[in-house]
Chains A and B, each alone.
Chain A
């Protein structure tokens, strides 16, 4: 991943934030401890977090597994409804919008999933997968449109007639990106999108996402547990731990002067490329 130089953190923002999240709370029922009668106890996943997603930039959301980072992301694209708090998109609270109101907004709020094998329907061709959302939102959706989206992510156009299981992991994840960008959204949530890929595919997919986001002016929230990826890709970073934000700010500042113990632990977990004499024993 040496091809990507760290971006200088942009500290001078003029545009207002795309998302403003205020005091977000969310809990799930704990079915393992449900009594025979009555409601299950609730597990608090997000304990009142507030953050902004600046327009046109890449914001990293990082934390250990179980920290609530995926849950927070899924609230942004409203796959989950929070218990309390505000999710302001352009100043409009979308936290509790119903099905009919949220569906038109979905074109602008796209998502790329962690496991492309699971997120691409095995029964549909790549062309169908990419074209169907385009048709729903009246943005074309012909075979040629799907092929054009594939070319944009560096895949051959004839992949439209392939099934997901006929592709490699990196190719599948490119299809996931193609489907998201085909709608020309304003925001993309990327949830651990490279954690299932080998290192060289990781670098290619990250580079692709970064280029597309810049070219198309897409705001990205990038969820990862891997700080080295965040450092190369993101402008801002939010560090979550057990449902609370422990640190947030420009990537450079957070990495150079980590304020919290969690951030220091995550930083220490980055594998160093330097060779050590002990390797040769």
Chain B
């Protein structure tokens, strides 16, 4: 009897690892910075010093030692504000994306597996929901609920659960047609056990990839809302509010806007790349 050993790898181990480790490294760095912000930030992110306003970053002429990435128009340290901004970004990403994922994926699994009325009700709800323009919806929600971190989180969860519901429903429907589902029923499993024990493990990689993507989206939505001053109070530094404040001075103090923008870009990119990388990692067939 021929013995089948491991299948040929679809991707070289090197490129797979880089896709996984580069974003993971950036996000761990960010998480560490956010956790240890009071200890590692060189300055108080709120301390104003009008004598030190618009200092350029360290590699340019006229920079001051200690102010690595320069200061903004009120003389606040850009690096310190970015480090504290990471706290808000990561907190929103983690909490909002997790809530969104749990809610949306559960509805997607139920609609995809049970079909019938479950599917009809949930699918119609998703269609109606998606007819609202999302950013407008978020602004509206925060305006109604009042500004603040928890309004931002609630807004993200209320808007974006449809992404999970749609994708996970489609994925579940594909899996539900596989013979292993019938096979579990033949083996005495009831419907809920079949869904949780057989289908869910096969849908999980997609859920994880989407969760990572959603974290990136949550970071963007938070930035958008703080850009229009609808996130947490203006005193607290966030990447979005830094970008908004730096906009006016872009011609002569570009660093105020550029560094938080780069952090935002790298974070969103890292989340989506990590999601894809993890999806492949999870797949026993691709291993």
Q: Per-position contact with A for B1-36: 1 when CB-CB < 8 Å, else 0?
A: 111111100000000000000000000000000000
Identify the 8 closest CB pairs spanning chains A and B, nearest first: A133-B187, A119-B179, A123-B201, A136-B188, A118-B179, A121-B180, A168-B4, A113-B179
A119 B188 Cβ-Cβ under 8 A: no
The yes or no answer to B102 lying at the interface (CB within 8 A) is no
In the complex, what distance in Å separates the CA atom of A242 from the CA atom of B178?
25
| Chain B: minimal CB distance from A192 (Å) | 11
The yes or no answer to A167 lying at the interface (CB within 8 A) is yes
Across the interface, A136 reaches (CB within 8 A) one of B2, B5, B189, B198, namely B189
For B182, the closest partner residue in chain A by CB is: A79
The yes or no answer to B185 lying at the interface (CB within 8 A) is yes
Quick check: which of A103-111, A143-151, A246-254, A273-281 contacts chain B, the rest being far away?
A: A103-111
A136 B284 Cβ-Cβ under 8 A: no
Interface centre among A114, A120, A165, A204 (most CB of B within 10 A): A165
In the complex, what distance in Å separates the CA atom of A166 from the CA atom of B3?
9
The yes or no answer to A215 lying at the interface (CB within 8 A) is no
Q: A123-B284, A163-B284, A165-B7 are in contact. Are A106 and B179 (CB under 8 A)?
A: no
Kindly list chain A residues whose C-beta atoms are within 8 Å of the C-beta of B6.
166
The yes or no answer to B186 lying at the interface (CB within 8 A) is yes
Kindly list chain A residues whose C-beta atoms are within 8 Å of the C-beta of B189.
132-133, 136
For A120, the closest partner residue in chain B by CB is: B180
The yes or no answer to A137 lying at the interface (CB within 8 A) is yes
B188 A123 Cβ-Cβ under 8 A: no
A121 B202 Cβ-Cβ under 8 A: yes
In the complex, what distance in Å separates the CA atom of A216 from the CA atom of B257?
77
| Chain A: minimal CB distance from B235 (Å) | 48
In the complex, what distance in Å separates the CA atom of A107 from the CA atom of B186?
8
The yes or no answer to B234 lying at the interface (CB within 8 A) is no
In the complex, what distance in Å separates the CA atom of A114 from the CA atom of B178?
11
Q: A168-B4, A171-B1 are in contact. Are A110 and B186 (CB under 8 A)?
A: yes
A99 B190 Cβ-Cβ under 8 A: yes
Kindly list chain A residues whose C-beta atoms are within 8 Å of the C-beta of B285.
122, 165
Q: Assign chain B's interface to a size class.
A: 20 to 34
B1 A103 Cβ-Cβ under 8 A: no
Kindly list chain B residues whose C-beta atoms are within 8 Å of the C-beta of A106.
185-188
The yes or no answer to A177 lying at the interface (CB within 8 A) is no
The yes or no answer to B183 lying at the interface (CB within 8 A) is yes
A121 B201 Cβ-Cβ under 8 A: yes
Interface centre among A109, A115, A132 (most CB of B within 10 A): A132
A-B contact pairs, 8 of them (CB 8 A): A109-B186, A118-B179, A119-B179, A120-B180, A121-B198, A123-B201, A136-B189, A179-B187
In the complex, what distance in Å separates the CA atom of A111 from the CA atom of B187?
9
For B188, the closest partner residue in chain A by CB is: A136
Q: Per-position contact with A for B78-115: 1 when CB-CB < 8 Å, else 0?
A: 00000000000000000000000000000000000000
Kindly list chain A residues whose C-beta atoms are within 8 Å of the C-beta of B186.
77, 79, 106, 109-111, 133
Q: Per-position contact with A for B160-198: 1 when CB-CB < 8 Å, else 0?
A: 000000000000000000111011111111110000011
B187 A168 Cβ-Cβ under 8 A: no
B185 A79 Cβ-Cβ under 8 A: yes
A114 B188 Cβ-Cβ under 8 A: no
Q: A103-B188, A106-B187, A107-B188 are in contact. Are A118 and B180 (CB under 8 A)?
A: yes
Q: A106-B187, A136-B189, A179-B187 are in contact. Are A119 and B182 (CB under 8 A)?
A: yes
| Given A113-B179, A165-B7, A168-B2, 5 more pairs with CB closer than 8 A | A79-B186, A103-B188, A121-B183, A121-B201, A132-B189
Q: A77-B186, A106-B187, A123-B202 are in contact. Are A166 and B178 (CB under 8 A)?
A: no
| Chain A: minimal CB distance from B287 (Å) | 9
In the complex, what distance in Å separates the CA atom of A137 from the CA atom of B184?
13
Kindly list chain B residues whose C-beta atoms are within 8 Å of the C-beta of A132.
187, 189, 197
| Chain A: minimal CB distance from B256 (Å) | 49
In the complex, what distance in Å separates the CA atom of A166 from the CA atom of B190?
28
The yes or no answer to A264 lying at the interface (CB within 8 A) is no
Q: Per-position contact with B for A140-170: 1 when CB-CB < 8 Å, else 0?
A: 0000000000000000000000010111101
**CB proximity to B under 8 Å, residues A231-257:** none
In the complex, what distance in Å separates the CA atom of A179 from the CA atom of B284?
21
| Chain A: minimal CB distance from B168 (Å) | 16
Q: A106-B186, A137-B188 are in contact. Are A165 and B284 (CB under 8 A)?
A: yes
Kindly list chain B residues whose C-beta atoms are within 8 Å of the C-beta of A118.
178-180
In the complex, what distance in Å separates the CA atom of A113 from the CA atom of B187?
13
For B178, the closest partner residue in chain A by CB is: A118
For B189, the closest partner residue in chain A by CB is: A136
| Chain B: minimal CB distance from A126 (Å) | 12
In the complex, what distance in Å separates the CA atom of A26 from the CA atom of B183?
21
Kindly list chain A residues whose C-beta atoms are within 8 Å of the C-beta of B184.
121
Q: A124-B201, A136-B188, A136-B189 are in contact. Are A119 and B4 (CB under 8 A)?
A: no
| Chain B: minimal CB distance from A29 (Å) | 12
Interface centre among B3, B180, B198, B201 (most CB of A within 10 A): B180
